[in-house]
Amino acid sequence: MQKQPTQGLTALLSERFGFASFRPHQQAICEAVTAGEDALVVMPTGAGKSLTYQLPGVARGGTTLVISPLIALIEDQAQKLSSMGFRAERIHSGLSREKSRSVCFSYLDGDLDFLFIAPERLGVPGFVEMLAKRRLALVAVDEAHCISHWGHDFRPDYRMLRERIPRLGESPVIALTATATPKVQDDILVQLGRPRANRFIHGFRRENIAIEMVEMTVSERADTACRLLATKGRRPAIIYAPTRKQAESVAAQLGRERRFKCAAYHAGMPPKERDEVQRAFLTGELEVIVATIAFGMGIDKSDIRTVVHLALPGSVEAYYQEIGRAGRDGEPSLAVLLYSYADIRVQEFFHERSYPEPQILEDVASHLDHEYIDPEDLADQVDLDMEKLQVVLHKLRIHGGAVIDFDERVRVGHDRWRDTYIEQREHKSSQLRLMARFPESTGCRMITLVRYFGDKDADQACGTCDVCAPKSTTVREFRTPTTKEARVLAGILDALIEWDDQATGRLFREVGTGMPRREFEALLGALVRADWLVIENTSFEKEGRNIPYRRVRLSAAGRRAAQRPTDAIGKLQLTVVAEKSSQRAKKSTGPTIRKKANVEKATSCKKTKTQELPTSVRPSGTEASTALVARIRAWRLEESRHRGVPAFRILTDRTLEAVAAAGPRNAVQLLAIKGIGPRLLELYGEELLELVVAVDSQL
């Protein structure tokens, strides 16, 4: 097909679609697709993705086949197009056989501009062959993230596309979604057999949302949220709570303070009550809603000024969706995350519940055969309560291990469900860890988000987040460094003058700070904000896994500061949590005392433990392994406090000692150690390897 002149597309846009002009990025996509190129479009909800298949479809002439996962979406889109005067039809399980047949005839007669189907329709015998009798103008796959088992809504029916789409002929394919990380993008295109399609990843930057992330204990968070929202201009607001119970208790607490009208919203409430809360929030009767993630789907309220998170969300995608509900009207808005690393445990609990151990699925699957059976009977056989069994069956169904009929009865499916399930399960938990690391990253928050989605628009810092504009934050405030902090800051500058551009973990050990890693990271953050340091997020590839780490180097300003460190550091501003500053000042010697206790404990561990070490794992008691055991132990203790989990959950004694004995120098050697798997490698690989190097270089 010839490239449609741009003029032609603009004319079609106004004549057939009634739009005066293109929205950002629509034109480029429409031109490429009209010219017959394949495309992947990833733009946020509401950006206007539909037009990017509709207009090219019309421009190319003939029928555009649209594959969409939900009947409701199909009906909605088909109706909209019909009302605009297009010949749009649909075939799905909600329509009578006669109706479907007549739609097929219309298609074969060339009477349709658009034909909408759900993906499972392609599995109906003869359907693909029927479609293939004509040449389709375009194939559009909407909500394309459903095709990838990495995506959050994986639909096995979408997997059929891989095999069926080529049988539809040579038509160009356009895939559209609002949410796909680069990994999911790759998977979508591979599944569609179009790995080299143009990628249009746009629009994730939200200029008017100022992001702020503040670490604090759970007990302080509700008060902080209440104070924050006491300012009128920060309402209406959504407060996201991690559990239903907390949503209720925080709503009750805020209600008692009577500063503004608020209510809880979660999936455990009776639907009528929930609808009432939602209605009251939309009309403005309620100014604040304390909700679990159940709230927000399809919420169309443009003037939400603030979104507060009372804990870490389960993934960066979820976080983006949730804060994205602020400021749809384009006015300045705020997103405040109150968190601590230990929040990850709540999320891990949810994860374990929604993605049970593969062994449990295995068990249930082994009780299925080709006869349909009632889930209740099955529950007795496998000794699971109904709720758990339903989760297991749902996962088995999605991954093909079970087939469920209209009466909810179940029979065995194929046995290839394991790989995709296990990958999906692991992917989810790695997304969780990525989210947990987000607040501790030192770059512009918006750039981090935009990059996460693979959006190219990632050069410009937002200028409003807590990293870009530390002086205008709402919850944090600033103070000058303590003597100890000043000493560490000077140490950092020194170390970088000596050896610029090193991994942050190595720098930490080299400076020998006598402070926990997170306090050290906070100081690095302050230096980045002062423009003295540049931190680069990078990664190395090992066994197909991407292991992230960060490198740090001095900027020109940093070099200048290093010339007169005392002066410069005295003027530096460090962040603290506001309102808490008075308490902190009182306790300012606290961390030092705690730290001493740490070190003592670590040292005594070293003495006793190294004496007890079995000779088999300690190569003739070399100095290296003894020193290394102590270093890894000290690190483990700190990490366990930091994460709020027992030390053995970080690394068991046995694994720790095996690492010290082996002294691995790279990820491959590390992985070869018994007890170190991909998960540990990803979590701690970088730090363990750095410990080895640090101890070696001291000897």
Q: Which of 650, 632, 628, 629 has its CA nearest to residue 641?
A: 650
CB of 47 to Mg ion, least distance (A): 9
CB of 390 to ligand ADP, least distance (A): 31
Taking the CA atoms of 333, 338, 344 and 345 in sequence, report the sign of the dihedral they define: negative
Give the binding-site size for ligand ADP (rule: CB under 6 A): 12
Is 85 a residue that touches ligand ADP (CB under 6 A)?
Answer: no
Q: Count H helices, E strands: the chain?
A: 31, 20
**Binding residues among 46-65 for Mg ion as defined by CB under 5 A:** 49
Residue 14 site contact among ligand ADP, Mg ion, none (CB < 5 to 8 Å, cut-off depends on kind): none
Residue 695 CA neighbour count, 13 Å, CB half: 25
Q: Max alpha carbon distance in the chain (Å)?
A: 86
CB of 83 to Mg ion, least distance (A): 17
Give the residue closest to Mg ion by C-beta.
49
Residue 546 site contact among Mg ion, ligand ADP, none (CB < 5 to 8 Å, cut-off depends on kind): none
CB of 48 to ligand ADP, least distance (A): 3
Residue 43 site contact among ligand ADP, Mg ion, none (CB < 5 to 8 Å, cut-off depends on kind): ligand ADP
Spell out, one character per residue from 420 to 449, where the chain touches ligand ADP: x when CB under 6 A holds, - when not. Answer: ------------------------------
Q: Which of 193, 145, 186, 197 has its CA nearest to residue 167?
A: 193
Q: Are 287 and 260 in contact (CB under 8 A)?
A: yes
Nearer to ligand ADP, 203 or 356 (CB): 203
Nearer to ligand ADP, 42 or 222 (CB): 42
Residue 61 site contact among ligand ADP, Mg ion, none (CB < 5 to 8 Å, cut-off depends on kind): none
What CA–CA distances, in Å, run from 19 to 16, 88, 602?
Answer: 8, 19, 68
Which alpha helices (H) appear in 117-243, and where do they start and end? 127-132, 156-159, 161-164, 182-191, 218-230
CB of 50 to Mg ion, least distance (A): 5
Mention every residue, 6+ apart, whose C-beta is less than 8 A from residue 479. 573, 574, 576, 581
CB of 449 to ligand ADP, least distance (A): 18
Give the binding-site size for Mg ion (rule: CB under 5 A): 1
Mention every residue, 6+ apart, whose C-beta is less than 8 A from residue 318. 293, 435
Residue 261 site contact among ligand ADP, Mg ion, none (CB < 5 to 8 Å, cut-off depends on kind): none
Q: Are 627 and 603 in contact (CB under 8 A)?
A: no
Nearer to ligand ADP, 48 or 591 (CB): 48
Mention every residue, 6+ apart, whose C-beta is less than 8 A from residue 622. none
Residue 462 site contact among ligand ADP, Mg ion, none (CB < 5 to 8 Å, cut-off depends on kind): none
Mention every residue, 6+ apart, whose C-beta is less than 8 A from residue 692. 628, 659, 663, 664, 665
Residue 438 site contact among Mg ion, ligand ADP, none (CB < 5 to 8 Å, cut-off depends on kind): none
Residue 51 site contact among Mg ion, ligand ADP, none (CB < 5 to 8 Å, cut-off depends on kind): ligand ADP
Residue 48 site contact among ligand ADP, Mg ion, none (CB < 5 to 8 Å, cut-off depends on kind): ligand ADP
Residue 19 site contact among Mg ion, ligand ADP, none (CB < 5 to 8 Å, cut-off depends on kind): ligand ADP
Nearer to ligand ADP, 453 or 520 (CB): 453
**Binding residues among 673-692 for ligand ADP as defined by CB under 6 A:** none
Spell out, one character per residue from 12 to 51, where the chain touches ligand ADP: x when CB under 6 A holds, - when not. Answer: -------x--xx--x----------------x-xxxxxxx
Find the part of the chain contacting Mg ion (CB under 5 A) among 43-51, 206-214, 511-519, 666-674. 43-51
572: left (phi over 0), alpha (psi -120 to 50) or beta: beta
How far apart are the C-alpha atoms of 197 and 156, rounded to whole Å? 22
Q: Are 178 and 320 in contact (CB under 8 A)?
A: no
Q: Which of 382, 376, 386 has its CA nearest to residue 362?
A: 382
CB of 6 to Mg ion, least distance (A): 24
CB of 383 to Mg ion, least distance (A): 43
CB of 451 to ligand ADP, least distance (A): 21
CB of 588 to ligand ADP, least distance (A): 51
604, containing H or E segment: helix 590-612
Spell out, one character per residue from 273 to 312, where the chain touches ligand ADP: x when CB under 6 A holds, - when not. Answer: ----------------------------------------
Altogether, the residues listed in the chain come to a count of: 699
Q: Are 447 and 465 in contact (CB under 8 A)?
A: no
Mention every residue, 6+ apart, whose C-beta is less than 8 A from residue 199. 39, 40, 42, 185, 454
What are 490's two structure tokens? 């000077």
Binding stretches for Mg ion (CB under 5 A): 49
Binding stretches for ligand ADP (CB under 6 A): 19, 22-23, 26, 43, 45-51
